[in-house]
A and B are shown apart, each in its own frame.
Chain A
Amino acid sequence: MTDSQRAAPGQLQADLAALAGAIERMGGELALGEEPSNFVAALDAGAPRD
């Protein structure tokens, strides 16, 4: 592999920092009772009435 094909370490750090920063900013808005499984509940609640 050539140097031009290898991801730069600095780029990895920048990607990680960007993702962590985004989650940090949004996470403050979460209600205490919010949990991952509420995603499936949201889909079920939004489905057409049978």
Chain B
Amino acid sequence: MTDLTLGELASAIAARKVSALEATDACLERIARLDRRLRAFITLDADGARARARALDADLAGGRRRGPLHGVPLAYKDLCHVPGLPTSCGTRTPEYFTGAVECTAVARLTAAGAITLGKLNMTELALGPFGDNPHHGDVDNPWKAGHVSGGSSSGSGTAVAAGLAFGALGSDTGGSIRLPAACCGIVGLKPTYGRVSRAGAMPLSWSLDHLGPMTRSVRDAALMLEIVAGHDSRDATSSPRAVGPLVAALEAPVRGVRVALPENYYFDGVTPEVRAAVEHAARTLASLGADVRTLRLPDPAPMIDVCNILARSESSTIHARVARERPHELGPAVRARLEVGFHISAHDYLQAARLRARLTRAFVDEVFGEVDAILAPTIPEPAPALATVTAPPVEEIVRRMGRFSRLTRPFNGLGLPVLAVPAGFASDGRPLGLQIVGRPFDEASVLRLGHAWEHAADWRTRRPSL
């Protein structure tokens, strides 16, 4: 049962072919069997999940279906505040994020009928792309033991790939949805800035944070996004722009859609297998009628500098208390990254925010006048060995972090919607990743392209051997 997609399970439950309790127990059995190795969960709420499943089964027996996710077990990154459960944010303090309002995205999924299995492991304070955590254990890659699961939504990536949950929420400040999606061979969507409310989720950088779905299929990502997207008065950055139908738009043809392969930056230093996989995806989309061409994109280096200023200033401000009063509780790389932000001037911070506006306007005008979407690798290499990338000294760890997330970070600054979708597998079985970038608020197009690619590829039903 845990091989089903979220949408397939929802349909099976609605048709009374399987119960919500059976689906929940299947996840809990798998978690009990596998999570000692994988370490995807920080908090498991088995009793709460079973009680909710029984109530949902009773509702359905009485003719009441709560919504499109009725009876589907999900799990959430441990920075989403869920009433009754602790929110550690990957720190050693179980109630690190306290007094918060309920996470709007979780509340919307719950209202649509989802079951909360628990809270998922993550990099400490969401600061890091490798999935290591000194307090809750390093999240393992389900495809290759001892390798990077991707971060910071590491537990979300591994839980979904390993069939411990049918879908998850992650957050993405510099790639933290897309990197674990790529490392774990699943789908992750960073929506447009403002598309999904961040209310009730721990902030890392107000300017760059995004919440989004992590799933086993593009259709599932569209389904979850339809539910969580849309204006929320509790998040001042939430956009009032209407969310159109996303699942219904998936089957529209890609013929004539203009797609760019970048001529610069995004293929520099990537492994030959990564390059070949992305080029294969481009040829596949071209065979389906997409108008694929190469395009020189604006240099992302200035935007990366801007993102570094914004992210470090804001994260140091938000987490100043732990960084200054209890620095010994933080890992050395996290502390080093927070430390920089204390020394950035207000002048540089505001200049960075102004530059971001100019760079984004220029990018949107220049690129989306020519094409509708961009294809690029998500990670420069398949998931590396964790021990290799986390070996000291700390300044070298920070440099490795920057290199591993160099392909995802520019799009946080630009605020554009990006779908991370599997691009196939390396010769040793590690997943390869592709990102599809769209114009602002055009999640429908990136999902449509991702869906077309996914259905033309042959890896869609492949699962890790566990």
Contact = CB atoms under 8 A, between A and B. Distances in A.
A23 to B, nearest CB: 5
B360 A23 contact: no
A19 B395 contact: no
A39 to B, nearest CB: 4
Contacts of A11: 395
Interface string B434-466: 000001111000000000000000000000000
Contact of A23 (B343, B348, B358, B415): B348
B357 A38 contact: yes
Interface in A1-50: 1-2, 4-8, 11-12, 15-16, 19-20, 22-23, 26-27, 29-31, 34-48, 50
Nearest to B350: A36
Contact of A6 (B344, B357, B394, B442): B394
Interface stretch (B33-41, B90-98, B301-309): B301-309
Contact of B355 (A15, A23, A42, A48): A23
B87 interface: no
B242 A50 contact: yes
A19 B63 CA distance: 60
A47 B344 contact: no
A19 to B, nearest CB: 6
A26 B192 CA distance: 25
Given A22-B305, A39-B415, A43-B415, A4 B351 contact: no
B353 interface: yes
Nearest to B309: A19
Interface in B312-367: 312, 332, 335-336, 339-340, 343-345, 348, 350-358, 360-361, 364-365
B241 A34 contact: no
Q: Which of A2, A12, A23, A30 has the most CB of B within 10 A?
A: A23
A46 B361 CA distance: 8
A50 B444 CA distance: 13
Contacts of B415: 39, 43
Contacts of A8: 393, 395
Given A7-B332, A43-B441, A26 B302 contact: yes
Given A12-B340, A15-B340, A30-B355, A43 B332 contact: no
A38 B354 CA distance: 8
Contact of A34 (B237, B345, B354, B395): B354
A19 B411 CA distance: 19
Nearest to B313: A19
Given A39-B353, A46-B440, A22 B392 contact: no
Contacts of B352: 23
Nearest to B438: A48
B143 interface: no
Interface of A: 1-2, 4-8, 11-12, 15-16, 19-20, 22-23, 26-27, 29-31, 34-48, 50
Given A36-B354, A39-B360, 7 more contacts: A5-B394, A19-B309, A22-B302, A23-B351, A40-B237, A42-B361, A45-B364
6 closest A-B pairs by beta carbon, nearest first, are: A46-B364, A38-B357, A36-B353, A7-B336, A22-B305, A42-B361
8 contacts: A12-B339, A16-B344, A19-B305, A26-B305, A27-B351, A36-B354, A41-B357, A46-B439
